[in-house]
Amino acid sequence: MPGAATQRSFEIRTYGCQMNMHDSERLAGLLEDAGYQRVAEGTNPDVVVFNTCAIRENADNRLYGNLGHLLPVKNSHPGMQIAVGGCLAQKDRATITQRAPWVDVVFGTHNIGSLPALLERARVQQQAQVEILESLERFPSVLPASRESPYSAWVAISVGCNNTCTFCIVPSLRGREEDRRPGDILAEIEALASEGVLEITLLGQNVNSYGVGFGDRLAFGKLLRSCGNVAGLERVRFTSPHPRDFTDDVIDAMAETANVMPALHMPLQSGSDAILRAMRRAYRREKYLAILDRVRSAMPEAAITTDIIVGFPGETEKDFADTLDLVRRARFAGAFTFQYSLRPGTPAADMPDQVPPEVVGERYERLAALVAELSLQENQKLVGREVEVLVADGEGRKDNATHRMSGRCRDNRLIHFAPADPAPRPGDVVTTMVTGAAPHYLLADGAPVAVRHTQAGDAWAAQRNRLAGAAESLTETGSVVTARGNNLVLLGMPSRRPTA
């Protein structure tokens, strides 16, 4: 293993869903434990790890494009290693090293814990290492983590999925659902809260089926209620629920647990019953809408968002009109809209009546326009209301230019707000009044009504100071360094690059 004298730097490039972002925190923790030092993207590190996604076809193309760009970089950087993990690695396996023979390590979704050993073996043997397992080696949550944020954390409650949605490649790459024990999950949440984390997001491909693994169908609602007892934990979120398994006990638990946020991201996929049947999504449009009604009567302020796929095989203009109609009735606060992407090996890939790309594209534009129009209307309803904002780091790309800061409201809406003087820190909590709205965000341009300094804000400031201290010691060596998020960013060639 590399020691301090030969400390090698690494960067992780993450694609896809929250599960992947969380896996990347584990990969970073593993590498740091093994003696590597993290630097930010674009700083010519010794090891680049791609944590890939396979959900849509463009993810494949993007990976091979990025690997191509790295070849000349690797040629000019002796000892550099490239590792590819995640869903696309699980899918393509040795094909990756055939298409990109300059890749050193390929690892799958079931063995992320092997990364440091595989890098070392590839380095010693001077030969690419491909290791893909068919079932989970150990639950990733037992691995060390280097978390991105001191105020907000992902917590996996399950991995894998027992559903068979005909468009989806996830079950074949992530395996069957495995549930973590509630006691382990709560112990992790309590540890996070004691470190100052204010917000957690419970992660699973289908959080509503959580508990099937240990025979308790009510386990998810109970878990939400238990989160309500964790001292210091202010915000609890989850993703993704599945309409088929969404039961009233979960709605009751959401409404009756003070720190469970009034926000629900519940994937719809299609508003047509015929397409839902063909997708093997075992609920129908009226059931979906009835869940929304019950959620709204229990939590009138809830913001509801969704995922929708356009152009699934066999989708007619009438099916698409049903989706538009449901979107109007659902009054979504936002939606992730996707063009159907054929995934070889999934049942939908072999269905007749694949929809021509130009039809998919045209429907996609119409859906996106409707979603934007309706989410603007929903956001405008909040103008004039006071909202509580958890200040975020890096959520507002234009913040410097607009002199605003950004964060998330309790209902998960993004808000750009005018900060007080002195400005709050990421992790602090601000109460402010909404003064404007756009389809994807709110604005608050008056002075905040209240600013609450939190332990999470202290933790963010401490992290900043640590990074600044480390940067100072590196600049003494002649490197130009700045801090970005959780990373030290070396600008230009560092004068202290360790030798491998």
Footprint of ligand SF4 on this chain (CB under 6 A)? 161, 163, 165, 168, 170-171, 205-206, 242
Position 109 contacts ligand SAM (CB under 6 A): no
How many whole angstroms from its chain centre is CA 427?
A: 19
Position 343 contacts ligand SAM (CB under 6 A): yes
User: Scanning the structure block, which residue is given the tokens 């996070």?
Assistant: 192
Minimum Å gap between C-beta 67 and ligand SAM is: 22
User: Scanning the structure block, which residue is given the tokens 């030092």?
Assistant: 37
How many residues sit in the footprint of ligand SAM (CB under 6 A)? 18
Minimum Å gap between C-beta 293 and ligand SF4 is: 23
Position 320 contacts ligand SAM (CB under 6 A): no
Residues from 159 through 198 that contact ligand SAM (CB under 6 A): 167-168, 170
Minimum Å gap between C-beta 479 and ligand SAM is: 39
Nearer to ligand SF4, 180 or 242 (CB): 242
Q: Which residues contact 326 (CB under 8 A, 6 or more apart)?
A: 268, 271, 285, 288, 289
Nearer to ligand SAM, 242 or 416 (CB): 242
Minimum Å gap between C-beta 281 and ligand SF4 is: 7
Nearest to 490 by CA among 238, 331, 473: 473
Minimum Å gap between C-beta 210 and ligand SF4 is: 13
User: Scanning the structure block, which residue is given the tokens 């191509």?
Assistant: 68
End-to-end CA distance of the chain: 11
328 close to 322: Cβ distance less than 8 angstroms:
no
Q: Which residues contact 421 (CB under 8 A, 6 or more apart)?
A: none
Distance CA(188)–CA(237), nearest Å, equals: 15
Position 276 contacts ligand SAM (CB under 6 A): no
Longest dimension (CA), the chain: 67
Distance CA(185)–CA(92), nearest Å, equals: 32
Among 196, 211, 267, 448, binds ligand SAM (CB under 6 A): 267
Nearer to ligand SF4, 82 or 165 (CB): 165
Amino acid letter for position 373: E
Tokens of 285: 């449009």
How many whole angstroms from its chain centre is CA 148?
A: 11
The entry of ligand SAM, ligand SF4, none that residue 17 binds, CB within 5 to 8 Å by partner kind: ligand SAM
Angle at 346 between CA 344 and CA 352, to 5 degrees: 85
How would you classify the pairing of strands 178-179 and 158-159? antiparallel
Nearest to 246 by CA among 264, 259, 227: 264
Position 102 contacts ligand SAM (CB under 6 A): no
Quick one: which segment of 173-181, 282-290, 334-342, 474-482 binds ligand SAM (CB under 6 A)?
A: 334-342
Tokens of 348: 């939908």
Minimum Å gap between C-beta 165 and ligand SF4 is: 3
Distance CA(90)–CA(174), nearest Å, equals: 8
The entry of ligand SF4, ligand SAM, none that residue 171 binds, CB within 5 to 8 Å by partner kind: ligand SF4
Tokens of 499: 């030798």
Nearer to ligand SF4, 51 or 240 (CB): 240
Nearer to ligand SAM, 277 or 496 (CB): 277
Minimum Å gap between C-beta 205 and ligand SAM is: 4
Position 60 contacts ligand SAM (CB under 6 A): no
- Per-position x/- string for 8-37, each x denoting binding to ligand SAM as judged by CB under 6 A, each - no binding: ---------x--------------------
Nearer to ligand SF4, 130 or 168 (CB): 168
Position 372 contacts ligand SAM (CB under 6 A): no
Distance CA(24)–CA(458), nearest Å, equals: 24
Distance CA(280)–CA(482), nearest Å, equals: 50
Nearer to ligand SF4, 165 or 203 (CB): 165
Distance CA(224)–CA(489), nearest Å, equals: 38
Residues that bind ligand SAM (CB under 6 A): 17, 55-56, 167-168, 170, 205-206, 240, 242, 267, 269, 307, 309, 338, 340-341, 343
